[in-house]
Structure formats: C-alpha cells, structure tokens
Structure 1
Amino acid sequence: MKVLLTHPNFPGQLRHVAAALGARKDNVVVFATKTPRNEWRIPGVSKLRYTPRPADDLKPHRLLEPLQDAVLQGEALHRAAHDLKARGFMPDVIYGNSGWGSTLYLKDVWPDVPLMCYFEWFYDPRGADARFGLGSGAGAAYEPPKLMRTRNAVIFNDLWACDQGLSPTAWQRAQFPEVFQPGIEVLHDGVDTEFFSPAPEPLPGLDLPGADLTGVTEIVTFAGRGMEPYRGFPQFMEAAALVLARRPRAHVVVAGTDRVCYGSPREDGKTWKEHMLGLLDLDLQRLHFTGSLPYGQYRDLLRASSVHVYLTRPFVLSWSFIEAMACGCALVASDTEPVREAVAHGQSALLCDFFRPAQCAEAICTLLDDRALAARLSAAARQTALERYDLRTLLPRHLELLRRTARLPRARGG
C-alpha cells in the first residue's frame, strides 16, 4: 500500500501508524511535514518537507490569522504534493490531521484518492469549552467566539472533503456537528502500555533536571506540554501551595515547558509560571520544575509519583493522562467531561472541581494518607488503560480503518 501521511509537526499523533506502516516492506510511506525533526527517523518512512512561503506584508485582520496560516500550509503542501506526483507517486490513501491546513488542497492533486482525517476538536462558541467557567467567577472562553468560528473554516472543508474521519474519544467526536458525526469513528491513538507501566521494582531514587528526589517518599506530580489555564496550571499551583503547607515531607514536581500551548498568553507579558510564583507563598526547596523530559525520564517520574494530578477544561484529552493511568498512578483529576470518559470517581481516580484548588489539595492529601486507597485506584486506572487504550489492541484497528478507507471506490470530496 502507498500511503501519504501529513502532520505539520512530525510525527504527531501519527507516530505509531507511521512506524507500523514503515515496518512492512511492501508499503511505500511518505510523511509530509512542516517540521521534520531531523533527529527523529522512522524506518521505512520518507519525509517530505513543505515550507510555507512568507505572507504578503499586508497584515491580515486578526480573525483571519489562523485561516491565513492554514492556507499558507495548504498551499505549501499542494506545491510539494505536485512535485511528488510528477515523480510518479500515487498514494492509495491519504491520512492527515485536520485543522492545520495541510490537508486543504490535496484533493486538487489526487481527486480520486481517499482522504482520512484525524478530527481532534471542533470550536463551538456555544459548546462546553466556551461556556466552561460561567458562573464561577473565572470567566468563560479564552478565545472570542468569532475567532473560534474562523478556526472551523478549515475543519469544515475537511469534514466535507474527507472519506473517513476519526476522533480519539467519544467526547471529542461529540463536539462536531451531528450531521458529520456518523462519518467519524471513535478510535484512540493508543498508549504503549508495556513501556508506560508500573516499575517492576521500587526505584532506587529519582534524579531529574532540577529535582533530586532521592529519599523523598511523598511526590506529587503534574505534567504537560505547557503551563496554561486550559490544563489547570494556575489551579494546580494553588493546590500545590496548600499541600506543601500541610505536609512538610511532600515535594511537588512539574514537568513541561513554561509556555502556552492552548489559549492565549497573559496580556501583561508574564508567563503563567512567573505569575503564580509571584502570587503564592511556596516552599521553593520542595517545588521542582524539570522542563520537558525525554520519554524515559518522564516515565520514571510517573512511576515514582505518589499522586499524579491532571486538570483540564472540557477540551482534548491529553496523552499524558492515559500514560499516567498506564503507569498505575494514583490520580487526582478534574471532574470534567473528557476525564469522566476515561475514569470514574472513587473507582479509578478522585475527581475534583476544576475551579476549587482546596478540593484538589484535599484529594491529594487523602491519597497521600490512605495508601491502600491509592493502590486500589492506581490498579483500576492501569486496568482501564489496558482494556481501553492499549496500543496493541488499537493500532491494528487503526491500520484496518486505513486499509478500508484505501479500498473505497472513489473519494467523495474530489
């Protein structure tokens, strides 16, 4: 099978699919990307780099900025795809992440080739994400409704053009207009539960960048790509301050970079980390920021965690949460829709109100005190990861869906 994959940040959510396709000698796999990450190669997979040209000097209306970026990406891949076609490459199927723009014009290059799109999120100004926080005093949408609607322009094109869609969770699929949902299959990317697993024996110590935790018995962890309100970083820091004040032996470890990945940055120019450190009275000898960690060290952190905290607005469910489940972490998480799809309060996690850091801190302390409860919840979380999110089960389904899409008689969006 000849397959064209595309994600602007190689390899993104397509990592496992790309590796499985590349492992078969009878497949020809090309991965089109804006950011090829030359340090990362997948055997059997060729990279096709596309480079968006700079926009004209005329600055677009602020509401058009995400659309302009998507069009520039789509145009760049359109050029690269034409060159690829001229060299004789005719894919049996195209698979790409929707919303970035790279899939915008591929039907104009290969109109009869089936297109499968990974639909991660639909921006609904009246949806749960936009309404979240109303009545709490914490505000609602982090983006103006008009900007959210503009972001959907590219997604609507993919919904119309694609022959098969998929979303990783039922909650994420439910955000899309009902008329399109029958064409979107729920299929999680899957987590390598052999790699992300409980430690086979107690770790002798944990020495991470900025965090020597040798001999520490109470480790509260928080992990994410960034530090932002969408993932509850300010609320976690408030909870961490309460835990550190109540428990003199506890240490708190935050893994991730000091940036905003979702939503908007602060208007005062400060990062959320800078803001929270200036706002709270924290014992900085017991609060550790590791930065972004390699997979091995990140797994070691999860394995050493006494309590792992995951907070999120009603938004995309993070890989990190499933990875923490697979590692058998004792979990405290926000009582929000994407979390409730994965775990149940009192059965596989303790859930708390996103906007009540004191409740989060209380749940953390409960699990630090009651290690029998923590062990029961962590075992259930691990079992759920094995039953519902195991890569060994989900990857074959993913590949079969791709093969079924390739066999479709004609692409409907062409």
Structure 2
Amino acid sequence: MPGQYRELAPWLAAQEAPDGGRHEIVFLTQRDDIRMTGITALIYRPFHTPANDAFGLSKEWERAAGVGFGAVQALQKYEAETGFRPDIILGHTGWGEMTFLKELWPDVPIIGFFEYYYRMQGGLVGFDPEATPNAQTPYFNRARNVVPLVNMEVVDQGHTPTYWQRDRFPKNFHDRMYVCHDGIRTDRLHPNPQASVTLGRLEHPLTRADEVVTYVARNMERARGFHVMMRALPALQAARPNARVLMIGGNETSYGRESDHPGGLRGEMEAEVGDRVDWSRVHFLGRVPYDDLCRIIQISSCHIYLTMPFVLSWSLLESMALQATVVAADVDPVREAISHGETGLLVDFFDPEALAAQVADVLARPDTYAHIGPNARAHVVKEYDFLTRCLPEHLRQMNALLPAEKQLPIPG
C-alpha cells in the first residue's frame, strides 16, 4: 500500500461523488504504518502461510491462497460491521488478495493489475550469464504464474502499465487488458537549477555546477544492474577525476539470486573492484526520502538506469520528468520509454566499459547532450503524465464497468 495506486487512490478520495458526498475508498492491506487522507486502511492478515520446507512448486499458490482467504475474511467482517459493499474493485493480482473476491461479491466488477508473467526467454530468467537457469527453473517459472493465471478468470478487465509487460502474458488474454501507466506527477516534478544536496563528509553542498553521477534502485541488486554499475566505476573515475557518484538504494535482494557474500552484493562488488576505485568519490546514501531523491536527481549531471528485462521502474520516468540526462540499459522495456539519442542514451547492459565511456562523454560534452533532458521531460509529460494522460484512461476503464449513475467525471 499504496503501490501502483499511489496517485489514483488519493485523487479519487479528494473528488466529489455523484451524490454530492465523497467516494468511500477502502484500501485492503497488510500494512499498518500508512495513513492516507480520505481512505480507510483495512488491515488483514493471511489465513495461512506455508512452512519454509513446503513443496516448492506449490508454495506460491499456498501463500496466495492463504492471503486471499485472509482478505475475504477481513472484508466479510467489515461488511457485516459497516454495510460496506464496493461499486468496483481495483487491485494487484500477483499476491492473492483478489483471488476469491468473486465468491464474496459475484456482481462487483474487478479491474486487476497484472505486473509480470515469467517466461524462460526475454525477461529476467536466463538473461544474466552469471546466473544461468538450472534444470528445475522451467518448473518453478510455470508455478510462479499460477496466481496471475487463476486471476485472469476472476477479473472483468485486466490492466498493465507497459506494452512490454502485457506481451509477457498469454496472447489470448491481451484483448482483456488495457495498457496505461500508473502515472507520473510531472506537475510536481520539475528541473531546479538552484537545487543543492549536502553530504555529511563534504565541506560544501553539491550543485549543478559539480560533476554528479547518480544511480537509483530500490535495492542494489543484479536485476537492476548494480554489479555492472560497480564494474564501470574504475574506468569512469579514470576518465572524470572530479566526478562524484551518488548511489541510492537498499542492500537487499528483491529479484533473482542473493549474493553469498556476508556483505551482500555491495560487499561482493566492493571486494571485486577493490583498490581500483577512489571510494572518497563514491557515496552510498541508502534509501532516502522522496523529496531528497528528487533533489539529488535535480543536481545530477548524468543519471544511470540499469535493469535486466523487467518491470520499468518509476524512478526512470521520474528522472526523465526531472529533465535528467539518462544513460540506460539497452533492453526491451527501456526502449519503450527511451529513444536513443533523443530522450536518453542506451548502452549494452553487459558492457561496463561502454557505460563508463558514455557517461564520461556526457560529463565532458554537456552541450552536445543538452537536448536530451528537455526531450525526456516532454516525452514523459505526453505519454506518462498522471493528470492529463493516465488518469483519464483509468477513469474511462472504470466507467465502462460501472452503471451510468455511478460513473466518474473525466477531467479535461
């Protein structure tokens, strides 16, 4: 919570309902640490959780079934206490909460968010030669798709944020999915030439006048190219002796295999690049508040976005909205958002030397690349802006499932 509904849910909560009151929005969640104005956070607990030694091929379904039944029980109790019955349900189909809702409310329409479908080609699996699939991988891949496959029969309408994500799913489901991003608040994200960032071990704040290279990921992991980023540091620092690299992200693993190193992947990569890096010019900032993240991108001379073929990060589109000059991995999901040389620069994911050379060239010849940031922002405003592009489409899709008297006015 709020996940992919971080913009839509509070926007709906702020609007006047057709009867002149306010929309009643209930957000079903396991989290008890988030409060959102005008939204009821209904906390539920899984009815069942699989044991650590549960059979691997059924473990995902066992977990999802426990989550789904726990969600239904919480909603049954809430309905009995308050009389609440939704007009429409929106939710993520990957974790299980949506699975049994038609048994509870057969006539309530559901729009399901479909995030990722595992295949043996074209995505995370099999992409990295340092993490080759084993003989069991095809079976686990198939098993991980059970939950979204079940939910295809639950939802009235599917939703996915990019065409690349849609195309991962079976073709016979595509005509029941609409493609529209969650939405980026470009009205709140702007470049700021006066931005500055203070770091504890530096005497003066960093500004746009400094050579600042940024890298952002929720977690510094292989799926988001952290190992490639680290391997690029020696060549980048050699080419640009005044550049500072700011790394933002946690030290856990969200996707793919974990490092065996006691210090995690960061410790593993620090040991690999060793004394070839001037660590005084590398700043690991961990996870930072959102406003600080935006200021860091605003002072960035070059922003690096690395990913294996996987779900496109909000941070890429937000960085583009902030008018950053982005150097990104040349993989299918990124190519959907970036045109090389126009709205960003693309490099081979597996070539840290090419990454370092491209970033160094951006730093050395800023005038040559001055068009990229403004073009990137214009592209995100046109294709991914929440208020003008994404919100109207989400509302149209909701209205298609609602009776006339419940339909939502579409702004603009």
TM-score normalised by length of structure 1: 0.90
Verify the 8 A CA contact 2:261 2:267 in the aligned structure 1. Answer: no
2:5 counterpart (11, 14, 20): 14
Give the match's secondary structure for 1:198.
coil
**Residues of 2 paired with 1:139 and 1:346: CA distance?**
31
1:107-158 alpha-carbon deviations (Å, 9 max, x no partner): 111111111101111111244433424xxx4344599222221111110011
Equivalent residue number for residue 396 of structure 2: 400
**Residues of 1 paired with 2:13 and 2:56: CA distance?**
41
**Residues of 2 paired with 1:263 and 1:57: CA distance?**
21
Equivalent residue number for residue 410 of structure 2: none
- Tell me if 1:334 matches 2:326: no
Identical residues among aligned pairs (%): 34
- Tell me if 1:370 matches 2:365: yes
Equivalent residue number for residue 311 of structure 2: 316
Q: Which amino acid aligns with 2:42?
A: L
Equivalent residue number for residue 62 of structure 2: 68
**Residues of 1 paired with 2:113 and 2:190: CA distance?**
27
Please state how far the C-alpha of 1:94 moved relative to its aligned partner. Answer: 0.8
**Residues of 2 paired with 1:139 and 1:215: CA distance?**
38
Q: Which amino acid aligns with 1:310?
A: Y
Equivalent residue number for residue 238 of structure 2: 245
CA 1:21/1:269 → structure 2, altered by over 3 Å: closer, same or farther?
same
Equivalent residue number for residue 84 of structure 1: 78
**Residues of 1 paired with 2:261 and 2:292: CA distance?**
34
Give the match's secondary structure for 1:191.
coil
Equivalent residue number for residue 30 of structure 2: 34
Verify the 8 A CA contact 2:50 2:63 in the aligned structure 1. Answer: no
- Tell me if 1:207 matches 2:186: no
**Residues of 2 paired with 1:287 and 1:81: CA distance?**
49
1:343-394 alpha-carbon deviations (Å, 9 max, x no partner): 1111111110000000101110110011112311111111111111111111
Give the match's secondary structure for 1:70.
helix
Q: CA RMSD in A?
A: 2.0
Q: Which amino acid aligns with 1:365?
A: A
**Residues of 2 paired with 1:345 and 1:305: CA distance?**
19
2:217 counterpart (219, 224, 235): 224
Verify the 8 A CA contact 2:206 2:299 in the aligned structure 1. Answer: no
CA 1:316/1:209 → structure 2, altered by over 3 Å: closer, same or farther?
farther
Verify the 8 A CA contact 2:50 2:62 in the aligned structure 1. Answer: no
**Residues of 2 paired with 1:297 and 1:334: CA distance?**
24
Q: Which amino acid aligns with 1:91?
A: P
Please state how far the C-alpha of 1:197 moved relative to its aligned partner. Answer: 1.4
Alignment map for 1:262-273 (pairs within 5 Å): 262-273=255-266
2:277 counterpart (282, 292, 302): 282
Please state how far the C-alpha of 1:247 moved relative to its aligned partner. Answer: 1.5
2:341 counterpart (318, 338, 346): 346
1:319-339 alpha-carbon deviations (Å, 9 max, x no partner): 000001000001100000011
CA 1:141/1:371 → structure 2, altered by over 3 Å: closer, same or farther?
farther
Give the match's secondary structure for 2:213.
strand
Q: Which amino acid aligns with 2:8?
A: V
Give the match's secondary structure for 2:152.
helix
**Residues of 1 paired with 2:30 and 2:402: CA distance?**
25
Q: Which amino acid aligns with 1:45?
A: I
Equivalent residue number for residue 174 of structure 2: 181
Give the match's secondary structure for 1:333.
strand
Name which of structure 1's ranges 55-64 and 176-185 shifts more when overlaid on structure 2: 55-64
Please state how far the C-alpha of 1:213 moved relative to its aligned partner. Answer: 6.3
Verify the 8 A CA contact 1:221 1:308 in the aligned structure 2. Answer: yes
Equivalent residue number for residue 138 of structure 1: 130
CA 1:70/1:270 → structure 2, altered by over 3 Å: closer, same or farther?
farther
Gaps of 5+ in 1: 1-9, 409-414
1:84-120 alpha-carbon deviations (Å, 9 max, x no partner): 2223111111110011111111111111111110111
Equivalent residue number for residue 98 of structure 2: 103
Equivalent residue number for residue 291 of structure 1: 286
Q: Which amino acid aligns with 2:398?
A: L
**Residues of 1 paired with 2:204 and 2:76: CA distance?**
54
Q: How many residues align?
A: 392
Q: Which amino acid aligns with 1:202?
A: Q
Verify the 8 A CA contact 1:206 1:212 in the aligned structure 2. Answer: no
Name which of structure 1's ranges 368-377 and 348-357 shifts more when overlaid on structure 2: 368-377
Give the match's secondary structure for 1:405.
coil
Please state how far the C-alpha of 1:270 moved relative to its aligned partner. Answer: 4.0
**Residues of 1 paired with 2:133 and 2:386: CA distance?**
34
